Chains A and B, each alone.
Chain A
């Protein structure tokens, strides 16, 4: 029972984890990336279309990354080069992605809302032999779609890159004090650009996990706020890799509890509120804890 819930939690958390780890880079570089949602959606869409057209999961992943990167480029040009407001630019990416996916779906495939076809190839769950021997942890970790394992590896990589490489130091320097970073010769805009591209790649993987991991279909708006949940995970985790991972997993956990409760005789819509209320509660608690001992009485700029 508990094993099954945790197994589902890990599955539900994976797209959030991936998007949040991507967002973490931009967060560290002091770029508020609202566009996670849109980049995920376009990744999911491009993945499904490529998988439908070619039948190759590899090409699907590449196309998802390319599509997501193109949207990151838009974000970069308008947000960083032209110095637009990040929040507004990010929301534009989201609206544009939502509009474009449904437009293309209707024009090119004559579908509305949902795109599913037996020709679409999804990722197959991986069964790892030696995990069978480990009690409790084995059943939780085993039989997932590959992105789940990829997300765990990426989490470790992100921790390493952010804390133990020159690039990571540059990113943090840009985020903490842009002027100082500029003064010592760091190309600030280039660093910012690169963080957005990294988040785009990870969002594309998150999108692939959504559309080709558990299901093999694209549904309009299938990200359903996961990009924002990922942002919440970053805020709650105070911008640390481990914190971000833990909170992403917690949100996945809330999701899996919600799914389990739906099997009982409780109205679905009521239960579906659980993850969202949970996030608001966690955000408030984290905010309140942060306020304690903080003498700054004003509202500081983000």
Chain B
């Protein structure tokens, strides 16, 4: 076993925290411009997210769906495939879970829940098969396809809830699922439910896949260098399809968790962009399942605390998405793997400016 290089690790952690700090600083400037006190706003945010049992539970609850979407995206990202369709795959997964939830009746709870989740996995996987095949067979840019398919999935489920399975209750939702398909909650005052445990199980599964399986190795190989992987005899076309489908399956699980644990029925447009949040989280967690878990918990704090901040201090919640965008900016730059470090690159830039 290799010796652990603490200096290297601390450097790596520092470069991961740096973007977050930058983003918060820019956020603070925006808060000042809008006429509020940034310290007050941020402390309201963290207090709202962390102080008290139910606040803590709600933070975990906010983190639940994005843990899984983060994992879904990381599987594809790691292979250098940009699956931007996690949002859509999640919608279809959620709908499939709801469908199984309200059509099957009189089944024991555990089996019903499992069936719902399996349905979601199948739906998400099948939907991801389309961009997978297009990329694998015809080398069509997967990013544009998956983004277009997002709209298709959202509109399709919208149609199904509004016309085919409309519950007639004034808002666009299907019939409620059977009680036997509910994921139980941990406590009455918080919506935190067993979906969180499912998310943790998914973290373990993805960790196992990455670390110990052939597929995990192949994902890494394709991500590093497709041509080399191809040259060593790997069927990268087939693997591309498989990776895409696995990513879609995970997205389906995220959808199922939301339906079975929170809404108990499919609601049109239920996701405020969990698929997109998953992308930030996959980046922040550096495609490492444990990192993703931590990143998702951090985002849970931002999300849950964001509403407290809006209520208490009056700073709009959209600040959170600004911070999110900024974090991605700073994360896009790979500070460690570029030939120069970030700082020396900056110095070089300034020196050039001075000279010219």
Contact = CB atoms under 8 A, between A and B. Distances in A.
Main secondary structure on B side of the interface with A: helix
Interface residues of A, number: 55
Contacts of B30: 103
B240 interface: yes
B171 interface: no
A47 interface: no
A95 B138 contact: no
A50 interface: no
Given A279-B148, A299-B237, A99 B226 contact: no
B322 A100 contact: yes
B236 A269 contact: no
Interface stretch (B4-12, B155-163, B289-297): B155-163
B328 A92 contact: yes
Contact of A276 (B149, B316, B318, B333): B149
A100 B288 CA distance: 30
A269 B316 contact: no
Interface in A190-229: 225, 228-229
Interface residues of B, number: 58
A78 B329 contact: yes
Contact of A84 (B316, B321, B323, B334): B334
B283 interface: yes
Main secondary structure on A side of the interface with B: helix
A107 B138 CA distance: 47
A287 B151 contact: no
Interface stretch (B54-62, B129-137, B257-265): B129-137
Interface string A77-107: 0110111110111011111111110110011
A12 to B, nearest CB: 15
A163 interface: no
Nearest to B135: A299
B143 A92 contact: no
Nearest to A234: B144
Contacts of A291: 137-139
Given A78-B333, A84-B332, A89-B332, A106 B318 contact: yes
Nearest to B240: A299
A265 B319 CA distance: 41
B322 to A, nearest CB: 4
B34 interface: yes
9 contacts: A78-B330, A98-B321, A99-B322, A225-B151, A235-B141, A269-B162, A273-B155, A280-B134, A283-B140
Interface of A: 34, 74, 78-79, 81-85, 87-89, 91-100, 102-103, 106-108, 225, 228-229, 231-232, 235, 267, 269-270, 272-273, 276-277, 279-280, 283-284, 286-288, 290-291, 297-302
